[in-house]
Amino acid sequence: MNTLDINLNRFVKHFRIGSFDTDYSGKVKMTSICNYLQEIAGMHAEALHWGINDLMKQDLSWVLSRLKIKVFEYPKWKDNLCIETWPTGIEGLFGNREFKILNEDGTLLMIASSSWLIINIRTKRPVRPHEIINNDEFEKAEKLFEQSISKIKPIKSTDFSESIKVHYSDIDINQHVNNVKYIKWIIDSCPEEFLYKKEIKEIEINFLHEAKFGNQLIINSQLNSENEMQFSIQNQNTEIENCRALLKWK
């Protein structure tokens, strides 16, 4: 369990799905997959000397800005997973990274793409990633989606709404809400008939502004079609938008 292979260009880590990582049906939760991706991305960045500890010495940190996951098949409790990740170079202020999730037989279960910012933790301003990353090494790497992750449009109306208070356990090493918490809140806010009768086949999320301990947030969702929902999380007091997301179901 939790073994890894270190490669400067492509990083591989093996996970075994525990009971705590599954939903009511015994299949892996989307939030657990996102935690795995976050973990392996951090480990590979460390191997490349771009990790959090390296950046913190310069008052910098990685922040996930955009994420897209496409599901072909959900693995189940006790299944062994092989997750591969690799950087795909710089695009503007973004450092991009791809992921493949396979079962132990090599069957492709999911693919994911992500865009990250390097932030100065004192000024909260983004830093050009070219100062940290040698783009020439990665710009020709394999990309799993035809197009880069795009900006999600604002929702036009609200079909469902739910309030959330940010608690201590929601906060990560950057002293703000961890990205996976937003995904948990969004999924948990979905109607029961979606959660128990459908499966998420694709998730796309844009992280816009950080939320802090004690903030009171509101999740607004819009039903685009019978199999697509769109979301916005914002601060109830300031109305600053924290993230937008799109869920596609099957």
pLDDT for 5: 52
Q: Which CATH class is domain 4-137?
A: alpha beta
Helix (H, G, I), strand (E, B) or coil at 159: coil
Q: How far apart are the first and last CA of the chain?
A: 31
On whether the CB atoms of residues 65 and 116 are closer than 8 A, the answer is yes
CA atoms lying within 13 Å on the CB side of residue 181:
19
Q: What is the dihedral of CA 195, 198, 202, 203, to 10 degrees?
A: -10
Mean pLDDT of 188-198: 95
| Residue 39 φ then ψ, to 5° | -65, -45
CB 235 within 8 A of CB 244: no
Rounded to whole angstroms, the Cα distance separating 131 from 176 reads 25
What kind of fold does domain 160-249 have according to CATH?
Thiol Ester Dehydrase; Chain A (3.10.129)
134 contacts: CB under 8 Å, gap ≥ 6: none
pLDDT tens figures, 204-245 = 999 999 999 999 999 999 999 999 999 999 999 999 999 999
**Which pLDDT band holds residue 1 (cuts at 50, 70, 90)?**
very low
In this predicted model, which residue has the larger pLDDT, 100 or 51?
100
| pTM score, whole prediction | 0.93
DSSP 3-state of 121: coil
Confidence of residue 138 (pLDDT cuts 50, 70, 90): confident
Q: Are 185 and 219 in contact (CB under 8 A)?
A: yes
Average pLDDT over residues 165-176: 95
The boundaries of every CATH 3.10.129.10 domain in the chain are: 4-137, 160-249
Q: Which residues of 18-41 are buried (b: 16+ CB within 10 A; e: fewer)?
A: eeebbbeeebbbbbbbbbbbbebb
